[in-house]
Structure 1
Amino acid sequence: MGLLAPRRRLLFLLSEEMKGYLPQLEPYSSDYQLMVYASRDLEDWLKCKWERSSREVQEELEAALDNNFEAFKAFLNFWAGLWLEKWRERVKVLSTRPKLPPDVLKRIKKAKRVYRQMPHGRELKKMLARKLISQGEICMPGFIAERLIIEEIAKRSRGSQEPFKFPETFALDLFNALSHRISRLPKEKGPLIYLNIKLRML
């Protein structure tokens, strides 16, 4: 069986557990995007905790759904509650796109361009996402990791000429700096991600 079937089952079960916390949730409306985020984060969390690849996680999920269904549902209910708690803490949904000063927009665009071009950027994001998960940031760790990387690049590349020259240790330097930032996150409250999406439940 391909990966799609267990993912669909997981999405359905997760939406059922989410309804216990959010009775107004309608998974097959615009709220579907919330379920996509949650199921993706659950898979990333399991990959981190089980130290497995995506395919191995899907195989183990399929086995759990077939052989230990009630225990897995209880786990899903617990995890969904934790995820929603982090969603409320770390994610701010905006009705309109925020207007930033032109110089700030320019720096962000430049930082995004540098991030896309930098060696080992994808590996850096994965490592930081795992670090975030280990610190309890189970909601959208990939989004948070990318945002932190772009912020750090914007800070470091301020005033530099283009094309940006990457030091040999650039990715490692970013990882070390951002690891310290992530270690402090449990003491920081408030949003880290701003989304311009429409959710029916809000």
Structure 2
Amino acid sequence: MSAINFRSKLFTLLVKEFETFIPQFKPYTTDYQLVVYASKDFETWLKVKMDIDDIRVIYKRLEEDLRNNPRDFRTSLNFWVDMWLKKWRERVRILSTKFEMPRDHVERIKRARKILQEMDWKNELKAMTIKKLVEYGEVCMIEFIADNLVVEEIAKRLQRANKDAIVALDPLSIYSAVSSRIMRLPKERGPLVYLNIKPNLFQNYY
């Protein structure tokens, strides 16, 4: 089975698990997006746990596991989806209206994102942050959270600098600060991701 075909197979299995945990789940409606998020997170989580970057290699191993031990595979997937849904309720907040932030904060965030995009080591910084998040138990919206934490840290440093100053940022220093924040996350139960989507979408899953 090709990687694309197995990805489709895995997506179907994830849908079945969501239906197990959420009786009112309707995969052929906007609920579909929930599985899209989970599918992406599952790939990210597996890359860290298996220490493999090539998703094709991961899918090949999963396919073998499913073929050789289908019951164990589905039990493991069920356990992971349960973890993901718990983290979804903990880390994600749905906003029906746009969250208004102070203009100066918005400008700092925009500037921080631009700086991150221009940073030579941005991919390595993101990869290390994702790995740290997984190590500390995060399984839901992992890449979103990683991006937010790094951008927020850069924005903090911009706030401490003069408005027009050229800010030199050391990726290792940024990671050190972000890593310290991640190590405190298990004690925090608040949201880390805010989604602006249609009212009532996903509200049944809290």
TM bracket, shorter-chain basis: over 0.9
- Maintained 8 Å contact 2:158/2:167: no
Determine the C-alpha separation between the residues in 2 that align with 1:163 and 1:129. Answer: 30
Instruction: Report deviation, 1:67.
Output: 2.3
Residue equivalent to 1:9: 9
In structure 2, the residue corresponding to 1:137 is in which secondary structure?
Answer: coil
Determine the C-alpha separation between the residues in 1 that align with 2:37 and 2:26. Answer: 15
Determine the C-alpha separation between the residues in 2 that align with 1:9 and 1:190. Answer: 33
Tell me which of 166, 169, 174 is aligned to 2:168. 166
Matched, 1:191 2:194: no
Instruction: Report deviation, 1:165.
Output: 4.1
List alignment gaps of at least 5 residues for structure 1: none
- Maintained 8 Å contact 1:26/1:200: no
User: Could you tell me which amino acid in structure 2 is paired with residue 151 of structure 1?
Assistant: E
Q: 1:160 to 1:59 in 2, by over 3 A?
A: farther
Give me the CA root mean square deviation: 1.6
In structure 2, the residue corresponding to 1:48 is in which secondary structure?
Answer: helix
- Maintained 8 Å contact 1:125/1:145: yes
Superposition misfits of 4+ residues, deviation over 6 angstroms: none
Q: 1:119 to 1:164 in 2, by over 3 A?
A: farther
Percentage of identical aligned residues: 46
Structure-1-length-normalised TM-score = 0.93
Determine the C-alpha separation between the residues in 1 that align with 2:114 and 2:162. Answer: 14
- Maintained 8 Å contact 1:3/1:55: yes
Instruction: Report deviation, 1:24.
Output: 1.3
Structure-2-length-normalised TM-score = 0.91
Residue equivalent to 1:113: 114
Determine the C-alpha separation between the residues in 2 that align with 1:190 and 1:75. Answer: 27
Q: 1:77 to 1:118 in 2, by over 3 A?
A: same
List alignment gaps of at least 5 residues for structure 2: none
Residue equivalent to 1:151: 152
Instruction: Report deviation, 1:163.
Output: 7.7
Stretch moving more, 29-38 or 191-200: 191-200
Question: 1:5-84 residue pairs with structure 2 within 5 A?
Answer: 5-53=5-53, 54-84=55-85
Instruction: Report deviation, 1:126.
Output: 1.1
Q: 1:10 to 1:163 in 2, by over 3 A?
A: farther
Instruction: Report deviation, 1:162.
Output: 5.2
